[in-house]
Amino acid sequence: MHEIPYHFSVGGMAEYQVGRITNVGIGAEYYSSYGEHCRLFNNMQQTYIHTLPIYANLKFSLNKARISPFVEGRIGYSIPMGRVTCNDPDGVHHYKSMGLYTGGAVGLKIYRTQVSFGMSAIDVVDSDLGFNGGRKDVITDYYVRLSFAF
């Protein structure tokens, strides 16, 4: 049975307003994905991947009004939550979603609600060979995010 590819994440972030239009923060989110993750080996198999990115966030708003556009960037590290098994002509390989996590978005703040459109990228490495083993890939996702401030 063929399952439909999906990407799902849920997380939290603590932000601090540094200036009139600048916020900095730290956050984490659980990320789950089902799709063609074995492209690392040119073998498009449907697999699951789970990871926990921990990141720093920098956000700039156009103004301090109740309704305001913003742009944000994230950088951090992705902690693997399991590994993916892929088959290729050389045999079975395992890889993990670990390493650099980056993201960026543009959005609109409406009172305490934020809607943003962006992309994120998570490094993937062969867990049997490590970073220096020569097998590395990046999972890139585009998203729509709805956030609430408390």
Binned at pLDDT 50, 70 and 90, residue 80 comes out as confident
Rounded mean pLDDT, 22-41: 79
pLDDT at 2 over 50: no
Distance CA 105, CA 74 (A): 9
Q: What is the pLDDT of residue 43?
A: 53
Exposure string over 16-53, b if 16+ CB within 10 A, otherwise e: eeeeeeebebebebebebbbebbebbeeeeebebbbbb
Q: What is the pLDDT of residue 88?
A: 63
pLDDT at 22 over 50: yes
pLDDT at 10 over 80: yes
What is the Cα Rg of the chain in Å? 18
Q: How many helices (H) and strands (E) does the chain have?
A: 0, 9
Q: What is the pLDDT of residues 89-136, one digit of tens each?
A: 666 767 777 788 899 999 999 988 999 999 888 877 665 555 455 556
pLDDT at 56 over 80: yes
Distance CA 138, CA 124 (A): 6
Q: What is the mean pLDDT of the chain?
A: 80
55 contacts 78 by C-beta, under 8 angstroms: no
Query: pTM, whole model, 2 decimals?
Result: 0.78
- Say whether domain 6-148 belongs to CATH 1.10.3470: no
pLDDT at 83 over 60: yes
Question: What percentage of residues in the chain have a pLDDT greater than 70?
Answer: 76
